[in-house]
Every structure is written in C-alpha cells, then in structure tokens.
Amino acid sequence: MVIKPKETTPESFHARPPKAWELYAYGFARTLVNALNKTAWRVKIVGASRLPEGAFILAPVHRSNLDTLLVASLTKRRLRYMGKDGVWKYKLSGAILTALGGFPVHRGAADREALRRCNLVLASGEPLVLFPEGTRKSGSTVEGLFEGAAYIAIKGNVPIVPVGIGGSERAWGKSKKFPKPTKIVLVVGDPIYPTVGEGGSRVPRSSLSILSEQLSAALQELFDEAQSMLGLG
C-alpha cells in the first residue's frame, strides 16, 4: 500500500487551541527534555517568573542546536516552533510534531505567509519561540537581528521576552561535532511591549527599528549576564 503525502497549502493552515492528548504528549516529552537539561547540562534558570501569561514571543540568543531544547525548561506551557513543512506531509508525523509544538512553514514560501502563520499561532493564545538572530551564531556579540520578531510582536500586539543563554556554545557550538556535558545558564529578561496602537495594517519602519534595537540591547545584556555567571564573560 502506498501512503500518499498529506498536502498542505497556505490557506489550509489554521491555528487552534491544543487538544487534551496533545498537551499530554507535550508534557511527557517536556519531562524527558527537562530531565536531560538538568542532568547533562545542569541548567540553571534565572527570572522565569518574568514570563507573562497569554501569548508572547520568546526570543533567545542562538549559539547551539541545544537552544530549542533548553528553552523548554522555562515553562510548563506548550511552546510553539516553526518547522519545514516537509515533515508534515504524513499524517502521523505531522500529528506528533504538532502535539510537540511545531507548525509547518513552506520552504520557499513568501515571508508574509510565515509571518501570517506566526500571528495565527499567537492569536490562539500560545507562546511562540523565535530566534531573532536567525541561524546559530558564534561569539559573545549579539548583532544583525532580523526584524521578524519585532514585526510579529507589533502586528499581534504581544510582548517579546528576551532570553540570554550562557554556555550552550561551549556545550555544542557550530565548531563541535558532538555535545558535551557542561553547565548552562538561562536568564529571562523583562517583557518588551510594543507601543499601544502600533498594530495597524501597516507597521512603520521606525517602530520596527526601535523595537528591534530594544530587543538587541536586552539580549546582549542578558547574554553577558548568563555568560558571566559561568565565568565566560
């Protein structure tokens, strides 16, 4: 029997509140990830109480493939992540990934479609994880942020929560083939709220720049703090 891939189109994507079984699946997976974070990386979390209720954008620095797993320890709430749509072509794998917080974005799709899906996820009331630096970076300087996080925050009128992650590059940076056990620190910053009234049909360039600059400065401060707690500053 040939299993045909499940077709998805931009119009077929609809964010919705999680089903009960999806929350149980996410909770189980998070328990395993949290245990790994505590044993292998001896993760220390500072400022988790700063996470707001409702929808928000979680914006960590990005120095390692471990970062996605590490931020799962910040909250028991289901976090949402973008993923390439190819792994959603089959019903079973798509259901599992959706339960674990993923949602598909088409490879080669226009940026506006990915942004639309992010805003639909936030409108459903769930937190969304976005790495403002885009791909993994190296070194102690936060720079060259993409404005996507700021744009989505303004359009959705939701706060951005910056997170500094210290030690993840030492554990499994771009230059390392395999991860190594070492202590990692996550520092959560205060939520950054878009200016009231910015969520119109068009987002002014000045608003994007201001919010992105605020995010960049906060990320650098939190990253420095996390690194210094490990003696890496």
Q: Which residue has the higher pLDDT, 2 or 127?
A: 127
Averaged pLDDT, 186-190: 98
By the 8 A CB rule, do 44 and 168 touch? Answer: no
Facing residues of 83 across strands? 104
Total of domains in the chain: 1
Q: What is the rounded average pLDDT for all residues in the chain? A: 87
Domain assignment present for residue 95? The answer is no
Q: How far apart are CA 40 and CA 47, in angstroms?
A: 21
Tell whether 118 is covered by a domain.
no
Average pLDDT rounded to a whole number, residues 66-75: 95
Q: In angstroms, how far apart are the furthest CA atoms of the chain? A: 58
Q: Determine, yes or no, domain membership for 233.
A: no
If one compares 88 and 150, the residue with the highest pLDDT of the two is 150
Residue pair 10/112 in contact by the 8 Å Cβ criterion? no
Closest listed residue to residue 163, CA positions, set 195, 185, 180, 148:
185
Ranked by mean pLDDT, which of 88-92, 114-118, 194-198 comes out on top?
Answer: 114-118
Non-local (6+) Cβ contacts of 87 within 8 A are 93, 94, 97, 104
Q: Which domain, by its residues, includes 168?
A: 37-79+127-228
Q: Is residue 5 part of a domain?
A: no
Quick one: which H or E segment has residue 165?
A: strand 160-166
Q: What is the mean pLDDT of residues 182-190?
A: 98
Would you say 8 and 98 are in contact if contact means Cβ atoms under 8 Å apart?
A: no
Q: Where are the alpha helices (DSSP H) in 157-204?
A: 168-172
pTM of this structure: 0.88
Lowest mean pLDDT among 153-162, 190-199, 216-225: 190-199
Positive or negative, the Cα torsion across 151, 157, 162, 163? negative
Structure tokens at 97: 């990934």
